Amino acid sequence: MIHLQSLHKHFSLPLTQPGFGGMMRGLFARETRLVRAVDGITFAIEPGEVVGYLGPNGAGKSTTIKMLTGLLVPTGGEIFVNGHIPWKARERYVARIGAVFGQRTTLWWDLPVIESLELLQHVYKIPPARFRQNLTEFREILDLDPFLQAPTRSLSLGQRMRADLAASLLHDPDLLFLDEPTIGLDVVAKERIRQFILHINRARGTTILLTTHDLSDVEKLCERVMIIDHGKLLYDGKLEALKTRFGGNRELIVDFAEPYPDISIPGADVVARESLRATYQFARATLSASELIRRLTEHYRIVDLSVREPDIEATVRRIYEERLLEGEGREDN
């Protein structure tokens, strides 16, 4: 579906000197600084995958997406998407992709939502029967009816995002690019959007590349993640493998059947205790949850217990702050 090989995108930015003298010098001898926005990225995405593409601001995510959608031409390297080079044969290429950008809309600002969708039917040459079928499905799943007749400019952010998702999928694209699809939304709206994305992937096999700063999106939607920073791909692999490797300590929450004066267990630390409940913290590299549970049940009567994993946001923050992946290159799937 998507194949990138040693992809580069460089920009030359002018350097400005302070003061009038610096401005005058710049008129005759302009200095520039080379920025490697994308620096030798290689990856492949197979049909039907939902992949999270993560990185801090300025890492190169948006530049990659712009090249994948054909808006930018690479400085070097190769891109093939569904058999196409994105910036060539644009009309054929864009007919098979969809894109939703959280900060922008593809709908006409002053038109009612339904009229924008009907215009897109003609833009993409969607057969009338297929258009009606898709619209009926999207109206139900995304609850579009309350604002179908409203102009786009009057919609709330959550309503506009639902309308944009419907618009991006009317023509049955093989590939969907999602850039911050839940930004600024409340919890209920986020969950509706996530459920719709999962439905489209499972029911239609749509391949999805997701960029987001909301790592709850990643946990709920993606099995595979890629991490980019300073234009380089640092990690490409399973989300669970990333959490296992960098997630830090796990927690086991235990409800005891009776009070015990000493509940210490080798290999785990008691980090909280309240009445009959205690929280143990343990390193996944040195002790498995099943072994810790075995040790506990040998010495105490247990009513209930649960394992709590470190959240993905804390894991990714730790990777960035401690620069844990620098110099490692790509991880295997």
Going by pLDDT thresholds of 50, 70 and 90, the confidence category of residue 311 is low
* 269 & 237 share domain: no
* 172 & 81 share domain: yes
- pLDDT at residue 333, rounded to an integer: 47
* Least confident window among 144-153, 196-205, 238-247: 238-247
* 156 & 262 share domain: no
pTM for the structure as a whole: 0.78
* Residue 293 scores a pLDDT above 60: yes
260 found inside a domain = yes
Pairing of strands 277-283, 302-308: unpaired
* 204 & 302 share domain: no
* Residue 262 scores a pLDDT above 60: yes
* Residue 200 scores a pLDDT above 80: yes
Residue bearing the bigger pLDDT, 314 or 97: 97
- pLDDT at residue 315, rounded to an integer: 73
Q: Which of 242, 191, 266, 202 is nearest to 52 (CA)?
A: 242
User: Domain boundary residue among 243, 276, 299?
Assistant: 243
* 225 & 257 share domain: no
Q: What is the CATH number of the domain that holds 231?
A: 3.40.50.300
- pLDDT at residue 26, rounded to an integer: 63
- pLDDT at residue 50, rounded to an integer: 96
Q: What is the pLDDT of residues 175-189, one digit of tens each?
A: 999 988 888 888 888
* 205 & 150 share domain: yes
Proportion of the chain above pLDDT 90, given as a percent: 56
- pLDDT at residue 11, rounded to an integer: 87
Cα distances (Å, whole numbers) of residue 14 to 21, 172, 295: 16, 42, 64
Domain extent at residue 296: 249-309
Q: What is the pLDDT of residues 116-175, one digit of tens each?
A: 999 999 999 999 999 999 999 999 999 999 999 999 999 998 899 999 999 999 999 999
* 163 & 130 share domain: yes
273 found inside a domain = yes
Proportion of the chain above pLDDT 70, given as a percent: 89
Amino acid at residue number 97:
I
Report the alpha-carbon distance of residue 298 to residue 186 in Å, rounded: 45
- pLDDT at residue 47, rounded to an integer: 95
Q: Encoding tokens for residue 76?
A: 């070097």
* 111 & 53 share domain: yes
329 found inside a domain = no
* Residue 5 scores a pLDDT above 90: yes
Cα distances (Å, whole numbers) of residue 243 to 113, 309, 310, 324: 41, 9, 8, 13
SS3 content of the chain, % helix, strand, coil (to 5): 35, 30, 35
